[in-house]
Chains A and B, each alone.
Chain A
Amino acid sequence: MIQINNISKSFAQQPVLKNVSLNVERGKTRVILGPSGSGKTVLLKNIIGLLQPDSGEIKVDGENIVGINPKRMLDIRKKFGMVFQQAALFDSMTVGQNIAFPLEEHGNYSDEEISSKVAQALEVVSLEGIEDKFPSELSGGMRKRVGLARAIILQPQCVLYDEPTTGLDPLTTDDVDRMILDASSRLNVTSVVISHDVGSALNVADDIAVIHQGTIVEDCKAAEIKNSTHPFVQEFLGTWFKKQ
């Protein structure tokens, strides 16, 4: 569904992504694993068009989105939903209004239909009946789940997750992992997850790419990552396995 070919991106002469190439297959969950500052979020923002690469191309369903006109980009974005690191819920709106926002902007639904779709989305993330709460009244894990409910409300083809388990306790991390797997299987969406959490990545991924200093150093099936011979991957995974 997404093909990334040789993209590079620098900020103030500082290279952040260097000739990154990656494929995301339709219906699969692709995890991009790497330490903080390795360029994961920049890569994700390039995929959704919030940033433009300095060179290279990003194809979504075969269409290159680099340098595409903004109006067409808005149409492309309707294929995506995104769960932000801090959820990025609109704090002036209730949970219900947050989830209904994409429906009101892009659909032609009655109030009853919107309420019913919001309730269904909240059910998918196991948060029934919290439509009238404000984001400030929710815990971090709940906010992320509401963020997912908002991301899937328009039934996108692909959901992007920006560090979904950062800052969460182990139990909530498990909840969020289950939520990602559940959303993938129930809604049959393609998922791209960026994370530095090895355990979570191994739980949810079909394919894993490891990014280090702006370069993809490993790209394989999730089950094969443990056999990687790349020194950085061995060190990165080794630290996590030692803690287990």
Chain B
Amino acid sequence: MSTKIVQQPIRFAQVSGNFVLRTVEDTGQMLGFFMQALRAAFTPPWRVEQFLAQAEFVGVGSLFIILLTGVFTGAVFTLQTVSALEQVGMESMVGSTVMLAVSRELAPVLTALMVTGRVGSAMATELGTMRVSEQIDAMEVMAVDPIGYLVAPRIFACAIMVPALTVIFDVVSGIGAYTVAVGALGIDEGAFLSRIEWFLDPFDFTHGIKKAFIFGVLIAVVGCFKGFHAKGGARGVGLATTQAVVIGSISIFVLDYVLTAILLVFEG
């Protein structure tokens, strides 16, 4: 009995210690992987063709889901906000409230989550399949740096296209909010627009775009890292894909808090 009481905390410490060690090790390896990709990106040959293909896949390919998510986020958030503001007679504030939340938080976070699900998983699957079928080895044997060819263009494509998609999310959320508030709920158009103009600064939008840039890099690094190091056939590729989505999504939420705290301290 007494041995059990002593063993349980020891076991707990071992498990949590292993988890912390693994997380620190993984994070270190991912940072090293990112540095390798950065070095490769600034070393010739320039992979413009691969970058454009990835930019199209990330940006154009994700456009439809971002449009859909953006419109409905703006619309439903407006419904909820009007319902709450009605109780204190401040429905005219709905535009500024919704757009503040969208531009600073919802647009970068939801865009990043959508891109993680669609693009991060695809990157992990594609690179994982290439790894287990020896296509990455073949590239190395042909004296081509696979990090420069496969990873660096993906990171740059995400770093540029996720902020661009976030801007589109901002715009379509605004349209969704306007349509519901002015068109369906009868909020005065002048009040709706003037409150947005009054309360929102360009900083509110750049705040979200800066976060989206970091999220874009994160999504690509996690997806490529997991795929690049996949092993063990189809099961290994599946595991890499799941880990890319889970680690990517959790990291977005954690990083969102850290970045928001930093940006609010430095930019107000």
A111 CB-CB contact with B under 8 Å: no
B143 adjacent to A50 (CB under 8 Å): no
B138 CB-CB contact with A under 8 Å: yes
B7 CB-CB contact with A under 8 Å: no
- Chain A residues, Cβ within 8 Å of B133: 86, 88, 91
Q: How far is the CA of A14 from the CA of B197 in the complex (A)?
A: 68
- Chain B residues, Cβ within 8 Å of A88: 133-135, 137-138
B143 adjacent to A78 (CB under 8 Å): yes
Query: Considering only CB atoms, which chain A residue lies closest to B141 in the complex?
Result: A82
Query: Considering only CB atoms, which chain A residue lies closest to B138 in the complex?
Result: A88
A85 CB-CB contact with B under 8 Å: yes
B25 CB-CB contact with A under 8 Å: no
Q: Which residue from A86, A105, A150 sits with its C-beta under 8 Å from B143? A: A105
Produce 1/0 per residue, A29-70, CB < 8 A to B. 000000000000000010010100000000000000000000
A105 adjacent to B141 (CB under 8 Å): no
A102 CB-CB contact with B under 8 Å: yes
Query: How many A residues are at the interface, by size bracket?
Result: 20 to 34
- Chain A residues, Cβ within 8 Å of B135: 88-91
A18 CB-CB contact with B under 8 Å: no
A86 adjacent to B134 (CB under 8 Å): yes
Q: How far is the CA of A89 from the CA of B114 in the complex (A)?
A: 31
B142 CB-CB contact with A under 8 Å: yes
B145 CB-CB contact with A under 8 Å: yes
B144 CB-CB contact with A under 8 Å: yes
A85 adjacent to B134 (CB under 8 Å): yes
Q: How far is the CA of A74 from the CA of B43 in the complex (A)?
A: 14
B134 adjacent to A105 (CB under 8 Å): no
Least distance between B134 CB and chain A CB atoms (Å): 4
Q: Which residue from B129, B134, B138, B143 sits with its C-beta under 8 Å from A74? A: B143
A117 CB-CB contact with B under 8 Å: no
- Chain B residues, Cβ within 8 Å of A78: 143
A101 CB-CB contact with B under 8 Å: yes
A84 adjacent to B143 (CB under 8 Å): no
Q: How far is the CA of A9 from the CA of B244 in the complex (A)?
A: 31
Query: Considering only CB atoms, which chain A residue lies closest to B144 in the complex?
Result: A105
A101 adjacent to B142 (CB under 8 Å): yes
- Chain B residues, Cβ within 8 Å of A81: 141
Q: How far is the CA of A50 from the CA of B139 in the complex (A)?
A: 11
B188 CB-CB contact with A under 8 Å: no
A161 CB-CB contact with B under 8 Å: no
Least distance between A151 CB and chain B CB atoms (Å): 8
Q: How far is the CA of A101 from the CA of B138 in the complex (A)?
A: 11
Least distance between A108 CB and chain B CB atoms (Å): 11
Query: Considering only CB atoms, which chain B residue lies closest to A93 in the complex?
Result: B135
Q: How far is the CA of A48 from the CA of B140 in the complex (A)?
A: 9
A137 CB-CB contact with B under 8 Å: no
Least distance between A168 CB and chain B CB atoms (Å): 17
A106 adjacent to B134 (CB under 8 Å): no
B138 adjacent to A82 (CB under 8 Å): yes
A77 adjacent to B134 (CB under 8 Å): no
Produce 1/0 per residue, B116-150, CB < 8 A to A. 00000000000001100111011011111100000
A75 CB-CB contact with B under 8 Å: yes
A80 adjacent to B141 (CB under 8 Å): yes
Query: Considering only CB atoms, which chain A residue lies closest to B137 in the complex?
Result: A50
Known contacts A86-B134, A90-B135; is-contact A48 B141 (Cβ 8 Å): yes
Within 72-115 of B, Cβ neighbours of A (below 8 Å) are at none
12 intermolecular pairs with C-beta atoms under 8 Å apart: A45-B137, A74-B145, A77-B141, A80-B141, A81-B141, A84-B138, A85-B134, A86-B133, A86-B134, A88-B133, A88-B134, A106-B143
Given contacts A45-B137, A74-B145, 6 further A-B contacts (CB under 8 A): A77-B141, A85-B134, A88-B133, A88-B134, A102-B142, A102-B144
Interface residues of A (CB under 8 A from B): 45, 48, 50, 74-75, 77-78, 80-82, 84-86, 88-91, 101-102, 105-106, 150
